Amino acid sequence: MERPQMHQTMPEDRDGWHQIDAGAQLEVLFHPNRQVRGREPDQIVRPSIVVAVAGKREQALRFDPFSMGAHYHIRPGLAPQIPLSVQDRQQPLDAILMFFEKTLRFRGLLALAEEDDVAAQLSDAELQNVAQQIRAISATHTPS
């Protein structure tokens, strides 16, 4: 029997998650190496970025630039994951951060998550700052 689809919410347990300053419109959290409880340890590094519209619990977007199987989600839990296209010599996290640096791409994803009004209000500088903050945190984190 198929599992019912449920919109995934922002993490309640914030252990290991870093709050990213994304301005007043968005809540963004970054985890440098999110390990799922109960999963056998392996060599895969699992950074994760979750995005919600401020004031909402549901994730609008989730980016999983894993060292193997990098992907992202629009409305996680309600739609299938989308494989991430990574160029030669490009790290998956860098490919994901391009969505924030090329702000029209990020706005497009947010609009696909049915958050058009918020997408239209976002500042380029705030989105680009999100990428800078995540890069800084990632640079200081050694995967465990």
pLDDT tens digits, 56-87: 999 999 999 998 899 999 999 998 999 999 99
Query: What residues contact residue 75 under an 8 Å CB cut-off, 6+ apart?
Result: 7, 58, 59, 60, 61, 113, 114
Q: What is the pTM of this model?
A: 0.91
Label residue 142 by pLDDT band (50, 70, 90): low
pLDDT digits (tens, 9 = 90+) for 8-62: 999 998 999 999 999 999 999 999 998 777 777 778 889 999 999 999 999 999 9
Q: What is the C-alpha separation between 101 and 138, in angstroms, rounded?
A: 16
Contact 10, 27 (CB under 8 A): yes
The residue with greater pLDDT, 34 or 111, is: 111
